[in-house]
Structure 1
Amino acid sequence: MTPAKSPQTMKPATAAKKLGIYLPAAPRDFQDNDITREDFNALQENPPEWLAELRRTGPHPRPVVAQKLGVSISGLARGGVTEPLTTAEITELLQSPPEWLVAERSTMAQVRAEEKRVKEARRAKG
């Protein structure tokens, strides 16, 4: 007989990253316990109110902040944004963008245009 398999689990930090939430803002129960694959899937399919609220209002982790602002994570660091931001703070930055944000968004647009050009050139060769 083979021993029973234990369920696949992930650390809270991994689950938070996959869910796009800032771990210290999550409930203590979520932070302190490993999450099974089954529990993780349930969180994705039917998010509890605390998860929906975190996704809606934040605070958001750097990758989510960068995506919402349209800049890279490095761009956030160059702009001096080192702490998680709430949705309200992100909206405020977008409504009256500081100089660093305008510059980083321009840089990101140039990078995306270059990536698109390279992709099209490869497709034309292939």
Structure 2
Amino acid sequence: MKSHQTAQTMKPATAAKKLGVYLEATPAEFREGVVSRAELNALQTDPPEWLRELRRNGPHPRPVVAAKLGVSISGLARGGITEALTTEQIEALKAESPEWLRKERATQAEVRKEAVRIKEKQEKQEKDAQRDA
């Protein structure tokens, strides 16, 4: 009996998420088909012009917008940003530096600092436990 290996495929939304692009801005043929693992790998290693353009100028999905602004996705929502933004719009927001953005960046910095503190504390506890064992 022969086993048939089928190509692993994913929905366009999943592929767009993995590529870090806004699905609605991708070409129709990308949105309307399915993407195999091999196609996804090819897009990642040798991106076509449309993909390079989307990554460079957007519109960008919310996780990318949040990362570029240095805030969380929740912080974006609290700031009233619910749609995809272009690189130009993100740069304008950075230049404008509204109060909500400054506040969310400070919050994100505190979250990161706390995560580092907790990790260091856990590592110290593990080291102490190994030493005492």
Same fold (TM over 0.5): yes
CA distance in 1, matches of 2:119, 2:8: 38
Equivalent in the alignment of 1:125: 125
Aligned partner letter, 1:8: Q
Alignment partner of 1:9 is 2:30: no
In structure 2, the partner of 1:94 is: 94
- Give the deviation of 1:5 after TM superposition: 2.1
Q: CA deviation at 1:2?
A: 1.9
What is aligned with 1:55? 55
Please give the secondary structure, in 2, of the residue aligned with 1:77: helix
Identity of matched residues, %: 60
- One-letter amino acid of the counterpart of residue 52, structure 2: A
* 2:106 is the alignment partner of 1:106: yes
Higher deviation after alignment, 71-80 or 3-12? 3-12
Residues 16-64 of structure 1: CA deviation (Å, up to 9, x unaligned): 0000000000000000000011111000000000000000000000000
The whole-number CA distance in structure 2 between the counterparts of 1:110 and 1:45 is 35
Q: Residue type of the partner of 2:86?
A: T
Larger Rg: 2
* TM-align CA RMSD: 0.8
What's 1:83 paired with? 83
**Normalising by structure 1, what TM-score?**
0.97
Match for 2:8: what amino acid?
Answer: Q
Which amino acid letter does the alignment assign opposite residue 121 of structure 2?
A: A
